[in-house]
Amino acid sequence: MIKVGLGVDVHAFEEGRPCILGGVVIPHPRGLTGHSDADALVHAIMDALLGAVGERDIGHFFPNTDARWKDADSLHLLAKVRETLAARKAAIHNVDATLIAQEPKLAPHLPVMLENLSRVLGIPAGRIAVKATTCEWMGFVGRKEGVVALAVACVDTE
């Protein structure tokens, strides 16, 4: 059976934090704030994958009250989500994601994000898409207060 899941995540910028998206440390004066490494792209993809198999959200699996996930590498958490899907015999078919950020410029980093996601999800990069767009200077993204990530995942399960 083919199943689809949706994931959405938002993180705010903060001084003194690294800016990590798709597992790439992006040179930028401000990073993203959160309990883990605040990788909004990976978080949205995790929620899309969990949603596709009818699981609860990442806040349930990796609560921000748990010291284990403090500054956690979100690619490591994504690997755990992959294990959850494997245990349910759900094969990841494809993932499509979009980052919305006024800054930093994301396009130069998309190929490495794809490599990271392909490696951790165990599917060819050709089955993963990561796009980037701005918010045309409107709203909190346009004011450079934070970023939004959206993802859908398609899985094949029994």
Footprint on this chain of Mg ion (rule: CB under 5 A): 9, 43
- For Mg ion, the closer CB: 9 or 55: 9
- For Mg ion, the closer CB: 58 or 128: 58
| Residue in the shown chain whose Cβ atom is closest to Mg ion | 43
Kindly report whether the peptide bond that precedes residue 104 is cis, defined as omega within 30 degrees of 0: yes
- For Mg ion, the closer CB: 37 or 126: 37
- For Mg ion, the closer CB: 30 or 127: 30
- Residue with tokens 């979009």, as numbered in its chain: 98
- Residue with tokens 């705010």, as numbered in its chain: 12
Q: What are the start-end ranges of the H helices in the chain?
A: 40-52, 58-61, 74-87, 110-121, 139-142
CB of 66 to Mg ion, least distance (A): 14
CB of 31 to Mg ion, least distance (A): 13
CB of 147 to Mg ion, least distance (A): 10
The number of residues in the chain equals: 158
| Rounded Cα–Cα distance for residues 17 and 72 (Å) | 13
| Rounded Cα–Cα distance for residues 157 and 82 (Å) | 13
CB of 69 to Mg ion, least distance (A): 11
